[in-house]
Amino acid sequence: MTGAAVRAPGRAGVRIGPIGLAWRPRVFWYTVASLGAVLVLVVLGVAIGSTWIAPGIVVRSLVGLETGPDAFIITTLRLPRVLTGALVGLTLGIAGALTQTFTRNPLGTPDIIGVTSGASVGAVAAIVLGGGTYSVSSLVLSGGIPVAATIGALIAAAVVYGLGWRGGVQSYRLILVGIGVSATLDAVTSYLLVRAKITLATAASQWLVGSLSSTSWSSVWPLLIVAAVAVPIALATSAALGIGQLGDEVATGVGLAVQRHRLLVIALAVVLTAAAVAAAGPVGFVAFVVPQVGLRLAGTNRPPLLLAGLLGAALVLAADLLSRAAFPWQVPVGIITTVIGAPYLIWLLIRHRKEMSR
Amino acid sequence: MFSVPAPSPTLASVPEARVTDATTALGVHRTAVRRHVLVIAALVVVLVLVAVASMLLGSNRIGVDRVLDGLMRTGSTTDEAIVWGSRIPRTLIGAAVGAALGIAGLLMQGHTRNPLADPGLFGVSSGAGLAVVLGVYVFGVTSTGATVWFALGGALVASVVVFSVTVAGSGTASPVPLALAGAAVSALLGALTSFVVLTDQDSLDAYRLWVVGSLAARQLDVLGAVWPFLVAGLVLAVVNVRALDALGLGSDLAKGLGENVLVARLVGLGGITLLAAGATAAAGPIGFVGLTVPHVARALVGTGHRLTLPVSGLVGAALVLLADVVGRLIGGFSEVEVGIVLAVIGGPVFVAVARRRSLVSL
């Protein structure tokens, strides 16, 4: 990947250092549009709540021009929730695009590396065992769940990767190992749920759907740091992802260090997903649907990473907004992301009949 | 599209290749047949042994003589109740459910050409789950006998929806749209189920027990309700075998070989739906069997569906029965549900298989 800037014949492009990007107008405009949608949704998400705050004041507070009671509500109560939602969507969307691309399987969500199952065991155990055996204060519990989820996610992912390793990791073997490990962990979660007191089972079920109701600045920071580090690296691997899709032999022939590339992609997906799940629980369906929608909107042969991330952010923000505005009790955001995302994907599938029938 | 297109050899080159294959591979072929017969015979023996164990062992520790007495209706009423009210229904339902899920999973992975596809991908499990929850929430139905009908209805309706979406989306229901439509509909139904169970604690209580998959407290009337679906599904699956092998080469080549792709899909998906719906209604959604058994079957006898179909059925049946027996024994008074045992023990075993075997991918 060195040497003078070489342009693919017939397609304009830009090149910054080792990273080259082809000019794809559809990807570009959809990315710009979804970025705009995310910004609008952030402002709306902060404006709408038990009291309405005019968007003008919201924008002024966000840039630090406003002080007073409204600014307090905005910066301490609503902004962390909205930021968490946006970051959860961004990280899940990009993680989903990464795993779907490298497994070459639209069902290959980050779940297959065991992240979600591991996080669920950790969190459900913290809720059920913590709340059942000892009387843990809600403060300890709210600090404990993200930590338990993160530990569970990382251990599970390491186990899947380690067991999938046989002189290198091959995506098919990794998928199968992931199925086995996830099934075992999910069964442990089920066991905990079935044996738990019904009130604790309800709390655990709520977490398992994905919810933004207990977010604060302490959930924003870890997520923000992970996103700031991992998202740029993920975007930089985009070209290698395209090569990796050609199959191991071709990719090696073209000069890609296949195993190193695969480890990097898996590590990125794991870290991004674990951060999101620790902050808000496994928010339903985002990592699966958003890359598929991005791919169909942009007309590319694999999910565009940044577009998937921004669509994810927009989806989670919109879902959170709906759950706060449209229901008498706060429906967990994971339910709404699915209720919005699934019909949209179905509609896209029907509309794209001609392209799909090949 | 996202899936890798199957390599399509030019039609002229195919017969030539086949002739050379046939002459050189004759000896290899004969040993392979002998091995396959051995595998199937061994699986039948294992299934019989596990079924006997399922009749003899349970949380009520009664001896062989008392089981036989109960079976002949010559012993005490307690023995008779244990054998006819619990052991026989569990053994029959367990074997039927396991075989049905194994075969449904095989067909599902064959039609979607996706190793991650399980029988629940068509919305069968999630549709049944939503119907069960609504049964509790709206009508207050909690008995196993009545739940079966709700689960059956929900499963059938959901799979019809998935299939309509797919055909509307791709004409011939090709693999990728099928998987996507199924996953989307399943997720939607799952979200609605979550909505209900988070609103109503009684529904959650019933749902969390149903969703893990269990054979406990099933009477023979459960089998009476689901057997027509299972038998019809099995017939469709067997009819579908040849077409499925052709479809494995890709839709275009299958068309070239004279298969009507849409009809083949309809038959296959009908079979999957009936088998999975019957099994799910009887024992709850045991996703693990349908997901993993086909991989084991392919590792044992290769990819041809004429062999993998019976092998999947046998492995599935033996696996579910074995897990149920283990669950009865390890839990003491409160036995562990079959779905949990399956995944906790079967998961690591499956990982070991995936690591050891030279994998036979789809």
Residues A109-153 pLDDT 10s: 888 888 999 999 988 888 888 754 444 445 445 567 888 888 899
Provide the pairing of β-strand A19-22 with A13-16: antiparallel
Q: Which region holds residue B127: left if phi is over 0, alpha if psi is between -120 and 50, else beta?
A: alpha
> What's the confidence (pLDDT) of residue B173?
61
Out of B191, B350, B359, name the one closest to residue A180 (CB).
B350
Decide: B59 and B215 in contact? Cβ < 8 Å: no
B197–A205 CB contact, under 8 Å: yes
* DSSP for A301-327, written as a single string: SS--HHHHHHHHHHHHHHHHHHHHHH-
- Dihedral (C-alpha) A161, A167, A172, A173: value to the nearest 10 degrees? -60
CA distances from B4 to A129, A229, A253, B194, B250 (A): 46, 32, 19, 35, 10
B10 has pLDDT over 60: no
**Percent helix / strand / coil, chain A, rounded to 5:** 75, 5, 20
Whole-model pTM: value is 0.81
* Residue B171: band (very low, low, confident or very high) from pLDDT cuts 50, 70, 90: low
Decide: A163 and B329 in contact? Cβ < 8 Å: no
Which domain CATH number covers A35? 1.10.3470.10
Chain A interface, best mutation among B136, B186, B208, by max A CB count within 10 A: B208
**Percent helix / strand / coil, chain B, rounded to 5:** 80, 0, 20
- The H or E element containing residue B99 is helix B88-112
Would residue A51 count as lying in a domain? yes
What is the pLDDT averaged over residues B58-64? 76
Nearest Cα to Cα of residue B152 among B225, B235, B206: B225
Would residue B231 count as lying in a domain? yes
B337–A194 CB contact, under 8 Å: yes
More confident: B231 or B123:
B231
Which residues of B are less than 8 Å from A193 in CB distance?
A: 208
Residues A224-274 pLDDT 10s: 999 999 999 998 887 788 777 777 778 888 777 788 888 898 999 999 999
User: Which burial class, exposed, middle or buried, applies to A255 when counting CB atoms under 10 A from its CB (0-12, 13-18, 19+)?
Assistant: exposed
Does the CB of A315 have a partner CB in chain B at under 8 Å? no
Distance from CA of B170 to the nearest CA of A (A): 5
Out of B165, B198, B295, name the one closest to residue A350 (CB).
B165
Would residue A7 count as lying in a domain? no
B234 has pLDDT over 90: yes
The whole-angstrom separation of Cα B4 and Cα A282 is 29
Residue B284, amino acid: G
Over chain A, what is the mean pLDDT? 83
Decide: B181 and A344 in contact? Cβ < 8 Å: no
Cα–Cα–Cα angle for A222, A225, A227, rounded to 5 degrees: 105
Helix axes B305-330, B88-112, angle to 10 degrees: 140
Which residues of B are less than 8 Å from A191 in CB distance?
A: 212, 336, 340, 344
A217 has pLDDT over 60: yes
Which domain CATH number covers B169? 1.10.3470.10
Chain B interface, best mutation among A92, A101, A104, A107, by max B CB count within 10 A: A107
Distance from CA of A72 to the nearest CA of B (A): 32
The whole-angstrom separation of Cα A307 and Cα A292 is 11
Backbone phi, psi, residue A18, to 5°: -80, -5
A183–B209 CB contact, under 8 Å: no
Cα–Cα–Cα angle for B244, B248, B250, rounded to 5 degrees: 120
- Find the closest chain A residue to B204 by CA distance: A202
CA distances from B121 to A92, A241, A321, B114, B117 (A): 22, 28, 30, 11, 6
Nearest Cα to Cα of residue A246 among A171, A357, A305, A165: A171
Would residue B26 count as lying in a domain? no
Decide: B289 and B342 in contact? Cβ < 8 Å: yes
Give me the half-sphere count of Cα atoms (radius 13 Å) on the Cβ side of residue B211. Answer: 25
> What's the confidence (pLDDT) of residue B35?
86
- The H or E element containing residue A223 is helix A217-236
Decide: B157 and B151 in contact? Cβ < 8 Å: no
> What's the confidence (pLDDT) of residue B49?
94
> What's the confidence (pLDDT) of residue A223?
92
Would residue A10 count as lying in a domain? no
Size of interface A-B (CB pairs under 8 A): 193
Would residue A224 count as lying in a domain? yes
> What's the confidence (pLDDT) of residue A93?
95
Highest-pLDDT range among A9-13, A174-178, B99-103, B286-290: B99-103
* Residue A318: band (very low, low, confident or very high) from pLDDT cuts 50, 70, 90: very high
Over chain B, what is the mean pLDDT? 81
Backbone phi, psi, residue B73, to 5°: 55, 35
Could you give the maximum distance between any two Cα atoms of chain A, in Å? 67
Distance from CA of A180 to the nearest CA of B (A): 4
Would residue A357 count as lying in a domain? no
Does the CB of A285 have a partner CB in chain B at under 8 Å? yes
B181–A346 CB contact, under 8 Å: yes
Distance from CA of A198 to the nearest CA of B (A): 7
Out of A187, A198, A339, name the one closest to residue B205 (CB).
A198
Would residue A285 count as lying in a domain? yes
> What's the confidence (pLDDT) of residue A203?
85
Does the CB of A180 have a partner CB in chain B at under 8 Å? yes
Residue B42, amino acid: A
What is the pLDDT averaged over residues B151-166? 86
Range of the domain at A154: 21-352
Percent of chain A exceeding pLDDT 70 equals 88
In chain B, the number of structural domains is 1
Beta bridge partners of residue A22, listed in sequence order: A13
> What's the confidence (pLDDT) of residue A216?
82
Backbone phi, psi, residue A169, to 5°: -105, 130
Percent of chain B exceeding pLDDT 70 equals 88
B346 has pLDDT over 60: yes
Backbone phi, psi, residue A15, to 5°: -140, 125
Does the CB of A319 have a partner CB in chain B at under 8 Å? no
* Residue A11: band (very low, low, confident or very high) from pLDDT cuts 50, 70, 90: low
User: Which burial class, exposed, middle or buried, applies to A63 when counting CB atoms under 10 A from its CB (0-12, 13-18, 19+)?
Assistant: exposed
What is the pLDDT averaged over residues A201-213? 87
> What's the confidence (pLDDT) of residue B19?
42
Out of A292, A339, A353, name the one closest to residue B170 (CB).
A353
Which residues of A are less than 8 Å from B355 in CB distance?
A: 163-164, 166, 173, 177
Which residue matches tokens 């007073």?
A68
Percent of chain B exceeding pLDDT 90 equals 20
Nearest Cα to Cα of residue A316 among A270, A350, A273, A280: A280
Would residue A13 count as lying in a domain? no
> What's the confidence (pLDDT) of residue B11?
36
Range of the domain at B274: 38-356
- Find the closest chain A residue to B359 by CA distance: A173
Nearest Cα to Cα of residue B52 among B95, B96, B82, B101: B95
The whole-angstrom separation of Cα B223 and Cα B242 is 29
CA distances from A89 to A80, A288, A312, B66 (A): 14, 11, 4, 61
What is the pLDDT averaged over residues B169-179? 68
Would residue B265 count as lying in a domain? yes
Would residue B86 count as lying in a domain? yes
Would residue A11 count as lying in a domain? no
Query: What does R_g of chain B's alpha carbons equal in angstroms?
Result: 21
Residues B291-339 pLDDT 10s: 889 988 988 888 888 889 999 999 999 999 999 999 888 866 678 888 8
A105–B116 CB contact, under 8 Å: yes
In chain A, the number of structural domains is 1
A356–B288 CB contact, under 8 Å: no
B351–A177 CB contact, under 8 Å: yes
